[in-house]
Structure 1
Amino acid sequence: MTACQSGDSVPEPSSTAALSATPAPTPSPTSDKEAILAAYREVYRTGPLAERAQPQDRRAILKPVATQPLLGTMLKGIAALRAQGRVTWGQPVFHIFEVDIRGDGALLRDCQDARKAGQADDRTGKRLTHGMPHTYMVAALAKEADGMWRVAKMTQLTEPCSPVS
């Protein structure tokens, strides 16, 4: 999941023979902060995939990015949403302004713009709801035994926030 960032350099081989004899460079592991940001964003991408999957497949779709208690909360929420004939549409615009890492735990704060996301009728696709700008989300993440960061809890605070530019 990592790629060269601007400013990174990869030494050029001196000949074609050197190119074939040189193993491909191993990308450096991502920092904890990068992994936390990726896990948080991925929850929003995999949620809709799990909604459209068969109930028995949803846990496997969410498990790489969510852990308990959020995993159970999402599974129950998806079941309730689907029972109403609804799905989610769109994605919020993230304005993550703080990531506080303490050992194997982290707290992320996001002032997202959720106006281009909401719920829709699954049958007709008609958009029924939409989110709001300045939605203050706080996510707790855990680095699990496999070394992967997963979102454990998400809370929407009642007070609005201001995105940091």
Structure 2
Amino acid sequence: MTSRAVQSLGAVALIPLVLTSCTDRAPDAPPATASPATTSASADPRGEITQAYVDFWAVGNAVAREDPGTWRTKLESVAVDPQLSRMLDNLGALQSRSLTVYGATREHVTNIDIAGDIATVQDCQDASGTGQADAKTGAHKTVGVPRSPVTARMQHDTDGKWRVAEVSYPGGTC
């Protein structure tokens, strides 16, 4: 079954796609040539951005196995709209189909472009240890792919934290 067919069913085969709602286009972002530092003239925020991006996937991978009443609060620590709403909608869709997710992704950030309070992260993500599982039995239904290009638009919020605002999958391999 193709990714498009899976999307049309309202569920996707891979954990990152499930939690982030796959799009074929890159997230809206400033031109990649802009890259001024956002926290201070002497600090390079790339390490902070990378950690926030990795934390986003860790929380996203874990939250599906937790009480739905905690999803929003936990996801708000790592995501903002439109990504936050997409993840909540997709988690609800999984739950309604008696599905959950298993495993964890492995992030391999390859580039970060920064323009003010917006950062664009390029990742060659390994999702081969993740997928959908039956919520009752834990039986694995799908498995992710090892070299999936991911683009994330991140936003530096007024509280000083970077959060994921949008995730897309440009296709191909990396």
Q: What is aligned with 1:97?
A: 110
Task: Output the CA distance in 2 between the equivalents of 1:49 and 1:116.
Answer: 13
Tell whether the 8 Å contact from 1:141 to 1:153 is kept in structure 2 after alignment.
yes
Give aligned pairs, total.
132
Amino acid at match of 1:65: V
Q: What is aligned with 1:49?
A: 62
Q: What is aligned with 1:128?
A: 141
Q: Secondary structure at the match of 2:142?
A: coil
Q: Secondary structure at the match of 2:95?
A: helix
Q: 2:125 aligns with which of 112, 123, 141?
A: 112
Task: Output the CA distance in 1 between the equivalents of 2:44 and 2:70.
Answer: 30
**How much has 1:159 moved relative to structure 2?**
1.9
**Pairwise CA RMSD:** 1.4
Q: 2:45 aligns with which of 17, 28, 32?
A: 32
**How much has 1:57 moved relative to structure 2?**
2.0
Q: Secondary structure at the match of 1:52?
A: coil
TM-score relative to the length of structure 1? 0.75
Task: Output the CA distance in 2 between the equivalents of 1:83 and 1:31.
Answer: 43
For structure 1, the 5+ residue unaligned runs are 1-29
Amino acid at match of 1:122: A
Amino acid at match of 2:110: F
For structure 2, the 5+ residue unaligned runs are 1-42
Tell whether the 8 Å contact from 1:49 to 1:61 is kept in structure 2 after alignment.
no
TM-score relative to the length of structure 2? 0.71
Q: What is aligned with 2:85?
A: 72
Q: Deviations over 1:36-64 (max 9, x none)?
A: 11111112211243223333321101101
Segments of 4+ in structure 1 off by > 6 A? none
Q: What is aligned with 1:83?
A: 96
Q: Secondary structure at the match of 2:46?
A: helix
Is the alpha carbon distance of 1:53 and 1:116 closer, same or farther for their aligned partners in structure 2, counting shifts above 3 Å?
Answer: closer
Matched, 1:160 2:173: yes
Q: Deviations over 1:19-77 (max 9, x none)?
A: xxxxxxxxxxx852122111111122112432233333211011011001000000001
Q: Which has the higher contact order (CA 8 A, sep 6+)?
A: 2
Matched, 1:150 2:148: no
Which structure is larger by alpha-carbon Rg, 1 or 2?
1
Same amino acid, percent of matched pairs: 34
**How much has 1:118 moved relative to structure 2?**
0.8
